[in-house]
Structure 1
Amino acid sequence: MKEKTSRQRRSPLEWSVRLILAGIAAWLGYLSVMQSVALVLPDSRIEEAYALAPNNGHIAGRLSQTLYRPNASEADRIRAVAIARDALHHDPTAVEAVATLAADAFVRGNQAEGERLLAYSQTLSRRDLRTQLMAIELAVARDDIPGALRHYDIALRTKKKAPDLLYPVLTSALTDPAIRAELVRTLGGQPNWGNGFINHAARGDADPAASAAFFRALQIARVSVPDSASVALINRLLAAKLFDDAWSYYAAARPGSERHQSRDPAFTSPIEARSAFDWTAINSIGVSTAILSDPANGLFDFTVSMGNGGLLLQQLQMLPPGEYVLEGHSTGVEQAARSRPYWVVRCQTGSEIGRVEVPNSSQTGGRFQGHVNIPADCPVQTLALIARSSNEIGGVSGQIDRILIRPTRSRAPERTAS
């Protein structure tokens, strides 16, 4: 009852004040909502964001950067500069606006003003990508490689979209030994973008020989190179027919590899990412294969269904010209002669230069051997296991637990037949 009486006694002035305060609160709430909406709008809708919050310095700064692009018209540049100055009037910490004014100063040839604004922008924030790009350009113009890479590092650490823009530029610069050396030092600090860049350099469009030199320098500096990146680079070198470069890098990545013989004869190496220089198992319709690596009892297992055949296993070679022995050991191979698998050595051109049949494993204790002559005009070869088609219901199956091609003048330790 008292509350009702109190409401009746309020004067018109009190009601007016209350209405005004409610209106102000509603207006402030509306402005807050508009600010929040404007802040989350992407750069593709920055004009809408600016219309919703024209007094927000950071939104205005973002608009100024969008307008002040390399191919912008003079009218857009004039508008961008005006918006940037207005943004700083509302918020002196609007780093995007400072970056726009710095870019404009450099375009107008006012180097001192550009550098002053760039330094101020760096003081405000290291997260503005345009600021770091200008700092990179300034360092490059001064031939300051460490300085340029320092700003690359900052940009790549702080901006998710920076790799798309900067990785291609960095990989194209790997042809410069000085840049390679400084980049190796940078990656020695284990930045969060290191592996991403290494993988890009392995697979990108840059000169694969320069990427190989870079990777070798990383290995010397004890900076880890993922196996998948090494394999991708080796395969790119091979695709570019840079065979010597590919072998040099492979030999450095796989210590103990020898060019004059095949590798991993007993399938002991637990390799996850395999290059063409490693044993590669081939699976296809009706063909199931697997390399079962083990330090003591590694083997290659294959099963080929009836009526199927083809490539089972292969390894790229770069054997020097001369006489070679191809030798190995099988288990589980029991087929008529017309259906037994065989080893073949082919030149890169596709011509066959040697073939060794795999006898039934019950014969000669499963051992097989043959001779191959590598001619001088065949610097790159492929050693492959081929399955013949079988009419037997069970198809063809078996295991190879040793395979090696070596010069006839050397002897390799034999593996006891099981």
Structure 2
Amino acid sequence: MTAGMKEQIRSYGMRSLTRQPVNAAAPTLLAIVASLDGKNQQAERLVRYAETMSRRDVPTEMWLIEHNVQRGDIPNALVHYDRALRTNDQTREILFPILNQAVSDPEIARPMAMFLARRPVWGRPFMTQYIPVSTSPNALYTFARGLKLDRAPTPDPTMLQAIEKRLVDLYAYQQSAALYNRAHGLPADDRTPIRNGGFEQPGNWDPFDWNLIDDENLAGLRQPNPTAKGGTALFPFAANGRGGDVAVQLTLLPPGNYAITAHVGGTRGDPLAFPQLVVRCARDGREVLHAAFPPSPDTGQSWRVGFTIPSNCTAQRIVVRAASGIDGQVTAPWIDDISVRPLGGR
């Protein structure tokens, strides 16, 4: 900034302050000039004076944010972020991207979590835009804990699921599972291989529950089990040439040998239309198991298949796939009581 520009700003600030002594913008302008001249103490006094007149002047709060950041005083910087964000919604467009980057630092994420726990008016809008762009699993996990989203039952299922999914996207499977477990009253390190294997509970969009597809020509439908056992079962459905995943659940199986068992019924006719069970490594999509369910009577039969989880496959997706045959789906195959158990040896 040239000397002429600084003098022009100083002159404008002095005139404004003389005409409107309660105008917070005037001393802030003078503080900017003082800062440029290296008169930091004078600049701070001017801005403090400006804030005594108004806490709704955005330039004043921005100056104080930067001042406290430079001093390493994160709690006070967040106080001024809060004041600026409460002033008007337009400040969010400026400050949210800055906060998105800043909270990757644990020294900022921790006090930010405490601030979010107070439920400021901008807190949920911040989290809503932050979750899908976050690159810091630790920050997401810290915010979820600070907001007590992992309390059982969770006070905000939608936000908890969004954080869990983003943690999975960032390969932070253990942190995602810990949030899920605590929110369901389980120990954080619970590693149940399959949840709701009998499909007795509705699916939802939590990564560690069954995610069921429900499209017109491709679906995983929960319907009454047609046998005397009762309860519900999964009916994979595909038509008009469609095929694909209809039920997906994330799990964290340690490396080793396993067996999947299930009760299967109604699979007959075109073998290409038989539903399939797949186990994929979550990170890279490698399939460690891809097996079609066998021909089975409507009354059902037990089925078992073995597979091995390699050491570089830390999280897996258990998947039921449906396929449509040449003549369409003329039967109603169903699957129930899916379970996974470890086998001895590697």
TM (norm. structure 2) is: 0.80
Larger Rg: 1
1:347 paired residue among 263, 281, 284: 281
User: Structure 2 CA distance, aligned partners of 1:229 and 1:264?
Assistant: 22
Q: Which residue of 2 aligns with 1:13?
A: none
Identity %: 29
Is the helix fraction higher in 1 or 2? 1
In 1, Cα distance between equivalents of 2:244 and 2:341: 25
2:251 to 317, 328, 353: 317
The answer as to whether partners of 2:203 and 2:210 remain within 8 angstroms in 1 is: no
Q: Is this contact kept in 2: 1:342–1:358, CA < 8 A?
A: yes
Distance 1:102 1:344 in 2: 65
Provide the rounded CA distance (Å) in 2 between the counterparts of 1:107 and 1:82.
Answer: 15
Aligned residues: 335
1:304 aligned onto 2:220 = no
User: Does 2:306 align with 1:374?
Assistant: no
**How far is 1:319 from its partner?**
0.8
**Aligned AA for 1:133?**
M
Deviation of the 1:131 alpha carbon:
0.9
Question: Is 2:74 the counterpart of 1:139?
Answer: no
Residue of structure 2 equivalent to 1:196: 125
Deviation at 1:205, TM superposition (A): 4.0
The offset of 1:128, in angstroms, is: 1.0
State the one-letter code of the partner of 1:287. Answer: L
Q: Does 1:234 align with 2:164?
A: yes
- Per-residue deviation, 1:253: 4.3
How far apart are residue 190 of structure 1 and its match?
A: 1.7
Q: Per-residue deviation at 1:158? A: 2.1
CA distance in 2 between counterparts of 1:271 and 1:96 reads 55
Quick one: which amino acid aligns to residue 55 of structure 2?
R
Query: Alignment partner for residue 148 of structure 1, among 77, 82, 87?
Result: 77
Q: Deviations over 1:373-403 (max 9, x none)?
A: 3333433322211223312344564444432
User: Would you tell me which structure has more strand in proportion to its own residues?
Assistant: 2
Q: Residue 365 of structure 1 corresponds to which residue in structure 2?
A: 300
2:227 corresponds in structure 1 to none
Query: Residues of 2 paired with 1:390 and 1:317: CA distance?
Result: 30
Aligned to 1:98: 27
- Pair 1:209 & 2:138 matched: yes
Offset at 1:263?
A: 2.0
Within the candidate set 135, 148, 158, 1:219 is matched to 148
Q: CA deviation at 1:165?
A: 2.2
Task: Tell me the alpha carbon deviations over residues 135-178 of structure 1, each in whole angstroms, 9 at most, x when there is no partner.
Answer: 22222333333222211221222221222222233333334444
1:229-257 superposed Cα distances (whole Å, 9 cap, x missing partner): 43343343333334444444444444438
Specify whether residues 303 and 206 from structure 1 end up closer, same or farther in structure 2 by C-alpha distance, changes over 3 A only: closer
> CA contact under 8 A between 2:205 and 2:211: conserved in structure 1?
no
Deviation (angstroms), 1:225: 7.1
The within-5 A match list for 1:157-196 is 157-196=86-125
Report the Cα distance in structure 2 between the residues aligned to 1:271 and 1:185, rounded to whole angstroms. 33
Query: 2: distance between equivalents of 1:95 and 1:356?
Result: 71
Q: Which residue of 2 aligns with 1:263?
A: 195
1:289-339 CA distance string (max 9 Å, x none): 45689xx95554442114332322222332112332322345665544442
Displacement of 1:364 after TM fit? 5.4
Distance in 1 between the 2:166 and 2:150 partners? 23
Distance 1:105 1:351, change over 3 A: closer
CA, structure 1 residues 284+393, in 2 after alignment: closer, same or farther (shift >3 Å)?
Answer: same
Equivalent AA in structure 2 for residue 368 of structure 1: W
Distance of 2:151 and 2:51 partners within structure 1: 33
Name structure 2 gaps, 5 residues minimum: 225-229
Instruction: Name the CA distance, whole Å, in 2 between partners of 1:231 and 1:220.
Output: 10
Mark the CA change 1:177 to 1:378 in structure 2 (over 3 Å): closer, same or farther: closer
CA distance in 1, matches of 2:86, 2:203: 32
The secondary structure found in structure 2 opposite 1:219 is coil
Q: Is the 8 A contact 1:99 1:117 kept in 2?
A: yes
Q: Give the unaligned 5+ runs of structure 1.
A: 1-71, 410-418
Q: Shift of residue 268 of structure 1?
A: 4.6
Q: Given the superposition, is the C-alpha separation of residues 187 and 201 from structure 1 closer, same or farther in structure 2, using an over 3 Å criterion?
A: same
Give distance in 1, aligned partners of 2:223 and 2:30. 63
Give the CA deviation at 1:228.
3.7
CA contact (8 A) 2:210 2:249 kept: yes
Which has the larger displacement, 148-157 or 398-407?
398-407
2:323 to 388, 391, 397: 388
* 1:174/1:214 contact within 8 Å kept: no
Contact 1:326 1:404 in 2 (8 A): yes
**Contact 1:171–1:206 at 8 Å: present in 2 too?**
no
For 1:265-305, what per-residue CA distance to the aligned partner results, in whole angstroms no more than 9, with x for missing partners?
A: 23355565433x33223456732345689xx9555444211
RMSD: 3.5
Kindly provide the amino acid, as one letter, of the partner of residue 255 in structure 2: P
